[in-house]
């Protein structure tokens, strides 16, 4: 990414006073470990190894518990790393690597907005991404939430011996999530470079690896899931043997 440093109101100072006190290597390893919760949960839901009820229960527990680890991680890491490239401000010299305010993200209610920091070159793609997913917040949430609800419903029905809709529900989940995350990943190109946004997804997940890496995972896994889920539905519709 080579976007020029935008504008104006970059603070350049936030968090830099604490920058000497952290261990960048440890922070990044912890980010990767916390990120790995997400593929584990997806595996439990999509592959649903037997006993299916156990997989669903374990997946839901990990999902619920994850935010209590990932959100404190975000709050601790936020002053120290670029939300876009995951680079640690303190280990890189030069004015272009000093922290700047990229986005103020509304947190709802009386909680003050969260200030997301980036290095100079990454202020603009960060603003574009958050503005884009803010604008498409409702379709993005439906595109993930609805097929997730149907998949969990199908897995619970299967465990209870009510019926087996697990295969179509899994294929729908992969197709819909694949399309939705690929749409979200267009944000850095299509969004307006706005400073204030509201979050469409839990922002703490983007702090684990940085937005840039997360969006590449969205694109690549998304294409795989579109192919796998789409193939099932093309066969089900009799359009493929
Ligand atoms: Zn950066």
Give pLDDT tens digits for 159-197: 999 999 999 999 999 999 999 999 999 999 999 999 999
CA 192 / ligand 1 centre spacing (Å): 19
CA 119 / ligand 1 centre spacing (Å): 4
Q: What is the pLDDT of residue 21?
A: 65
CA 129 / ligand 1 centre spacing (Å): 14
Rounded-to-integer distance, Cα 148 and Cα 151, Å: 5
CA 121 / ligand 1 centre spacing (Å): 6
pLDDT-derived band at 209 (thresholds 50, 70, 90) equals: very high
Q: Are 146 and 176 in contact (CB under 8 A)?
A: yes
CA 168 / ligand 1 centre spacing (Å): 40
Q: Per residue in 122-147, pLDDT tens?
A: 999 999 999 999 999 999 999 999 99
CA 79 / ligand 1 centre spacing (Å): 13
CA 118 / ligand 1 centre spacing (Å): 5
Query: Any idea what the Cα angle at residue 152 is, between residues 147 and 156, rounded to 5°?
Result: 145
Of the listed ranges 9-13, 41-45, 201-205, the least confidently predicted one is 9-13
* Burial per residue of 22-42, b for 16 or more beta-carbon CB atoms within 10 angstroms, e otherwise: bebeebbebbeebbebbeebb
CA 50 / ligand 1 centre spacing (Å): 42
Helices (H) and strands (E) in the chain, counts: 8, 3
CA 65 / ligand 1 centre spacing (Å): 29
The protein residues having their C-beta less than 5 angstroms from ligand 1 (an ion) are 82, 84-85, 87, 119, 122
CA 211 / ligand 1 centre spacing (Å): 10
Region of 109 (left: φ > 0; alpha: ψ -120 to 50; beta: rest) is left
Query: Any idea what the Cα angle at residue 170 is, between residues 167 and 173, rounded to 5°?
Result: 150
CA 204 / ligand 1 centre spacing (Å): 17
pLDDT-derived band at 215 (thresholds 50, 70, 90) equals: very high
Q: Is 44 exposed, middle or buried (0-12, 13-18, 19+ CB in 10 A)?
A: buried
Q: Per residue in 93-124, pLDDT tens?
A: 787 788 999 999 999 888 899 999 999 999 99
Q: Are 210 and 84 in contact (CB under 8 A)?
A: yes
Residue 35's nearest CA partner among 176, 218, 187 is: 218
Rounded-to-integer distance, Cα 47 and Cα 110, Å: 40
Rounded-to-integer distance, Cα 80 and Cα 88, Å: 6
CA 128 / ligand 1 centre spacing (Å): 14
CA 123 / ligand 1 centre spacing (Å): 8
């Amino acid at each position: 990414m080579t976007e020029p440093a935008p504008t104006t109101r970059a603070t350049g100072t936030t968090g830099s006073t604490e920058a000497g006190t952290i261990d960048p290597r440890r922070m990044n390893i912890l980010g990767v470990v916390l990120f790995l919760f997400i593929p584990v949960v997806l595996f439990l839901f999509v592959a649903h190894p037997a006993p299916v009820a156990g997989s669903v229960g374990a997946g839901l527990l990990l999902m619920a518990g994850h935010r209590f680890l990932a959100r404190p991680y975000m709050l601790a890491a936020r002053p120290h790393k670029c939300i876009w490239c995951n680079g640690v401000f303190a280990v890189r010299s030069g004015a272009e690597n000093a922290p700047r305010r990229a986005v103020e993200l509304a947190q709802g209610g009386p909680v003050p907005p969260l200030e997301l920091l980036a290095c100079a070159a990454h202020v603009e793609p960060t603003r574009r991404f958050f503005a884009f997913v803010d604008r498409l917040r409702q379709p993005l949430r439906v595109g993930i939430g609805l097929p997730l609800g149907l998949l969990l419903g199908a897995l619970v029905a299967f465990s209870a011996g009510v019926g087996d809709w697990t295969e179509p529900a899994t294929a729908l989940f992969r197709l819909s999530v694949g399309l939705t995350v690929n749409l979200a990943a267009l944000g850095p190109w299509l969004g307006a470079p706005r400073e204030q946004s509201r979050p469409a997804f839990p922002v703490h997940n983007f702090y684990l690896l940085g937005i840039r890496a997360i969006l590449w995972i969205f694109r690549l896994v998304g294409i795989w899931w579109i192919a796998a889920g789409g193939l099932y539905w093309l066969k089900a519709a009799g359009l493929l043997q």
